[in-house]
Structure 1
């Protein structure tokens, strides 16, 4: 809940209209925090739905990365945090691609993207792109959904109310920044129908979920992926992941963690990798071995 504060500084760039957007909204400012050396490995951190660059899990990850001597950019997706007002969706990897193309990041030789929850789903889409940064060396998805339709169905069920309320609170703030008012969204489905579908020209929420779901396309990934999940995750149930992970192929390294929740794990988490224990320490071991 109280993550250590990383030593970094504000960073921003301006990106163009996203692929598939109806516009005309024009360019939007993407903000974040950048720290560490100006060369070597750069780790791009992507937050979950309703989050931003300042969430505790983002700060904790940044501290671990900086302590290992790497550079870290924790970004806020469009509409989130200090980024410009707009909406983002589960497959909007074109924004990540544009961020990495910023001239201020040109000196880094290798890039790794670590996405938390929905941010991991967006990061996986970066590995599915035909055009991607040649420096992209690996993708890490932590507690990320793979079946958008089924995940929304379960999150919108009565049992998911406390998690759903938390996510919708962050999304309502985005809506207020864009439109000047914050409607009372009761479900994730309502949010997607009111914002994502019209903003990006999807035919319906079903079309959005089916066309953007990364699970069925995992075998197409051209970049190594580390997928971290836990059977106890209350927001991304294991039942929505297992069918896709079983068919993922050798390019996806799947690590199930027995103890943990949604993007929260014990300090001694072991992914079965050598070196120091702890989620981020183990993730960095995986990345540095590539």
Structure 2
């Protein structure tokens, strides 16, 4: 889900006015990239069981990866008063009031093999400023989201300040990416990500590649890691607010107050489509462009456009075959999954806990609160970066340090042989 595309409806303002309006006076302050951080030292693997009881921590890689983020796991997850106490208040508050870091980005349009177009947003100037072997972090925003979203910008700035090269993958039509074919966004289509991985890897062959995905972007990333041959190009990855099982998520988002997110995302998708209606006006067959262009829910949009474009007989078939829960057992890359137990979009019962426990490469952390893309907690709350970001960066830096140590060791051995 994209935080910036939650609809500014009167329902939001009516229901939340007493709580949120005072903070509407808080003006976002620019966050600029700062000098590079000193790399964190590698952590010795040890048996780790002392995580705080407010957190759920499981996974086949827990003994290996928990020590890496020990300082984060030992602390109680303590939400920010009021704004972090209710999943809906937290989700909406983070969407509208979290500050957006000011970063200059350079856009690259990538034409895909089927004549589609995706865009890559790089930090301006880094192509010349950073060495070729600098680790690359690929960011995958949520459904209809892109490089303008606050949660994406915060992660981008934190990684850049740690000396990493960062690139945001904007899906077709998202973040004002051009649309050149009737194939738009799909939770089942991994071809665009595969081409992006090939492109980035070709540009920086000496660099290790890492990925961070949120919501539907996380679902696509985890599918890719467990399914595609080029997944071995990733040296590590993080999944956050992943719906995992789209059938359960579709049912969950259609209940109670959660319907507001369903409508918001449906309208965000239809809004992207409306910008490019001329491209779709002559489509025949099973397409229902009118339904998709006036979608009241995500399912409306998928029924009118997505499932037809990608060859599915029904929306249910499309959802069933787009679940990253089906592939997490096959992930061979170190993977950190972070979920909020009260997420109103990615339900707790959709998390494939048993497969995560059985996979020696996976670690799952579930916080008691956090909403969807919220996590209004930690030292940067309420309007700063999500609680997750410092832990995510420590995790990724550890993996990179381990990779660098291995590479340096191999180089030393080669030098000895040459002598």
1:32 aligns with 2:120: yes
Question: Counterpart of 1:142?
Answer: 240
**Residue in 2 that maps onto 1:274:** none
SS of equivalent to 1:222: coil
In structure 2, what is the equivalent of residue 245 of structure 1?
353
**Within the alignment, does 1:10 sit opposite 2:120 as a pair?**
no
Once the two structures are superposed, residues 249-283 of structure 1 have per-residue CA deviations (whole angstroms, 9 ceiling, x without a partner) of: 222210112331211213528xxxxxxx9422211
Structure that is richer in strand per residue = 1
Question: How do residues 163-182 of structure 1 correspond to structure 2 at under 5 angstroms?
Answer: 163-180=261-278
What do you get for the CA RMSD once the two structures are aligned?
Answer: 2.2
> How far apart are the structure 2 equivalents of 1:4 and 1:122?
25
Unaligned runs of 5+ in 1: 18-26, 270-276
Task: Decide whether aligned partners of structure 1 residues 38 and 174 sit closer, same or farther in structure 2, where only a CA change above 3 A counts.
Answer: farther
Superposition deviation, residue 212 in structure 1: 1.7
Instruction: Note if contact 2:343-2:370 (Cα within 8 Å) is conserved in structure 1.
Output: yes
Q: Out of 68-77 and 83-92, give the one that drifted further.
A: 83-92
Distance 2:262 2:371 in 1: 15
1:132 aligns with 2:240: no
Please identify the structure whose Cα radius of gyration is greater. Answer: 2
Q: Is the 8 A contact 2:141 2:217 kept in 1?
A: yes
Cα distance in 2 between the residues matched to 1:60 and 1:115 = 13
Q: 1:202 to 1:158 in 2, by over 3 A?
A: same
Q: For residues 60 and 11 of structure 1, what CA distance do their matches in structure 2 show?
A: 21
User: Which of 345, 362, 372 is equivalent to 1:235?
Assistant: 345
Output the TM-score relative to the length of structure 1: 0.86
**Structure 2 partner of 1:215:** 325
Aligned to 2:315: 205
In 2, Cα distance between the equivalents of 1:73 and 1:116? Answer: 15
Residue 230 of structure 1 contacts residue 256 of structure 1 at CA under 8 Å; is this kept in 2?
yes
Contact 1:50 1:168 in 2 (8 A): no
CA contact (8 A) 1:50 1:169 kept: no
CA 1:179–1:4 in structure 2 vs 1: closer, same or farther (change >3 Å)? same
Answer yes or no: is the 8 Å Cα contact 1:51–1:170 preserved in 2: no
Q: CA deviation at 1:195?
A: 1.3
Unaligned 5+ runs, structure 2: 1-97, 279-289, 380-385, 400-419
Out of 365, 373, 376, the residue aligned to residue 255 of structure 1 is 365
Q: Deviations over 1:95-135 (max 9, x none)?
A: 11101222673345111111110000001122123420543
Structure number with higher relative contact order (C-alpha < 8 Å, ≥ 6 residues apart): 2
Contact 2:225–2:231 (Cα < 8 Å) also in 1: no
Matched, 1:45 2:139: yes
Q: Deviations over 1:113-169 (max 9, x none)?
A: 111100000011221234205431112111011111110111123431221222122
Deviations 1:202-255 (A, max 9, x none): 1211211111211132111122211100112111121222xx123222222101
More helix by share: 2
Q: How does 1:5-154 map to 2 (within 5 A)?
A: 5-17=102-114, 27-35=115-123, 36=126, 37-39=130-132, 40-85=134-179, 86-102=183-199, 105-132=203-230, 134-154=232-252
Q: Which runs of 4+ in 1 moved over 6 A?
A: none
**Change in 2 beyond 3 A, CA 1:70/1:89:** same
Partner of residue 286 from structure 1, selected from 388, 391, 395: 395
